[in-house]
């Protein structure tokens, strides 16, 4: 973090649409210069939060601070934030370079200055050769890079990205997420990226903010959120976990921390419901007393040393250090 990076802070931010509470008094301090993902299911309030930070939506209550200053009531262009939209929202009749330069034109910059700065931005996203094209003459990935350049030309402190990869095919999505991460590191500004994909959040984020039902369920580094989910919702949404009810309470345990014993008791006994080959691992689902289903992710070589089949009785075992007590 350099001295010029400003911290974005949400203070009891609320958004109501009529009687719907879309965002309910959330507090969060984003890491300056970090890559944050707002993660959660559809309708949990992610986009409303992002739009309030951008200034495209007013706050009903609470405040948004950037570098300690209240920006809640500033116009979008005056906040030090910029937004990249899901559908990129490029102007179809403007060339790539004029799309990128658009906000400078609105600001009243002269044409030569605009084109020079837009040219620099196109270089940054590796599109210098395509400045004269129209948006519909570009691939999806190229359109996205134009949208990025157009957002970055205002030199924001915080770049806001609303489901930026959802319009791309799976292969391109993985490539573009690598490019986003690289760009964020190069620029050193804060990125706040809305997604409902846990893989995307784990791959990209320094910090994951998990939302559910208009509130923040948990925020922390990708590793902390994955390894120590606080609530059953986070454990289930982030994936790869079991939520187990034991006499001492409810716990999360990673599927790859559950071992299977062909003989012997283990912590719980169950019968195998399903075996799914996943390449590097085999996913084994077992049903234990109380109709709880528990999945174990076993390295494939270990599994095939002594394979199991549906209907087999097994003991399930784990190291208690891998159990994480859930608060809700």
Of 22 and 146, nearer to ligand ADP (C-beta) is 22
Residue 228 CA to residue 140 CA, distance in Å, equals 37
User: Which one among 7, 47, 95, 218 touches ligand ADP, defined by CB under 6 A?
Assistant: 47
Q: Which stretch binds ligand ADP (CB under 6 A): 41-49, 116-124, 169-177, 179-187?
A: 41-49
Residue 219 CA to residue 260 CA, distance in Å, equals 32
Of 2 and 42, nearer to ligand ADP (C-beta) is 42
**Token digits for 57?**
């939506």
Of 237 and 251, nearer to ligand ADP (C-beta) is 237
Q: Is the Cβ–Cβ distance between 278 and 256 less than 8 Å?
A: no
| Least spacing, CB of residue 306 vs ligand ADP, in Å | 45
User: Which one among 45, 55, 164, 229 touches ligand ADP, defined by CB under 6 A?
Assistant: 45
Q: Which stretch binds ligand ADP (CB under 6 A): 3-11, 44-52, 202-210, 215-223?
A: 44-52
User: Which one among 10, 26, 44, 298 touches ligand ADP, defined by CB under 6 A?
Assistant: 44
Residue 177 CA to residue 175 CA, distance in Å, equals 5
Q: Is the Cβ–Cβ distance between 212 and 44 less than 8 Å?
A: yes
Residue 205 CA to residue 254 CA, distance in Å, equals 20
Residue 69 CA to residue 125 CA, distance in Å, equals 31
> Which of these, 80, 74, 328, 62, lies nearest to 189 by C-alpha position?
80
Of residues 8 through 27, those in contact with ligand ADP by CB under 6 A are 17, 20, 22
Q: Is there binding between residue 305 and ligand ADP (CB under 6 A)? A: no
**Token digits for 205?**
């984020």
User: Which one among 46, 114, 173, 230 touches ligand ADP, defined by CB under 6 A?
Assistant: 46
Binding interface with ligand ADP (CB under 6 A): 17, 20, 22, 40, 42-48
């Amino acid at each position: 973090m350099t001295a010029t990076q400003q911290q974005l802070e949400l203070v009891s931010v609320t958004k109501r649409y009529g009687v719907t509470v879309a965002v309910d008094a959330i507090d969060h301090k984003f890491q300056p210069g970090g890559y944050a993902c707002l993660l959660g299911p559809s309708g949990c309030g992610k986009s409303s939060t992002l739009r309030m930070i951008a200034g495209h939506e007013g706050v009903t209550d609470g405040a948004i601070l950037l570098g300690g200053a209240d920006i809640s009531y500033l116009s979008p262009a005056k906040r030090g934030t910029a937004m990249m939209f899901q559908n990129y929202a490029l102007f179809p009749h403007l060339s790539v370079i004029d799309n990128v330069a658009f906000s400078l034109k609105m600001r009243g910059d002269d044409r030569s200055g605009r084109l020079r700065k837009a040219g620099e931005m196109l270089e940054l996203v590796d599109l210098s050769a395509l400045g004269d094209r129209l948006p519909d003459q570009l691939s999806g990935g190229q359109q996205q890079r134009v949208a990025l350049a157009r957002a970055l030309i205002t030199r924001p402190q915080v770049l806001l990205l609303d489901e930026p990869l959802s319009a791309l095919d799976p292969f391109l999505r993985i490539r573009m997420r690598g490019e986003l991460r690289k760009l964020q590191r190069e620029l050193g500004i804060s990125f706040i990226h809305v997604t409902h994909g846990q893989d995307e959040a784990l791959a990209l984020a320094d910090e994951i903010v998990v939302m559910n039902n208009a509130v923040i369920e948990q925020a922390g580094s990708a590793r902390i959120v994955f390894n120590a989910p606080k609530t059953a919702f986070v454990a289930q949404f982030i994936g790869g976990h079991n939520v187990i009810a034991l006499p001492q309470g409810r716990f999360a345990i990673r599927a790859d921390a559950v071992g299977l014993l062909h003989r012997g008791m283990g912590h719980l006994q169950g019968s195998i419901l399903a075996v799914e080959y996943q390449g590097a691992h085999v996913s084994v689902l077992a049903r234990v007393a109380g109709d709880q289903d528990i999945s174990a992710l076993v390295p494939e070589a270990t599994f095939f040393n002594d394979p199991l089949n549906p209907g087999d009785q097994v003991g399930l075992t784990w190291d208690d250090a891998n159990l994480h007590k859930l608060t809700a």
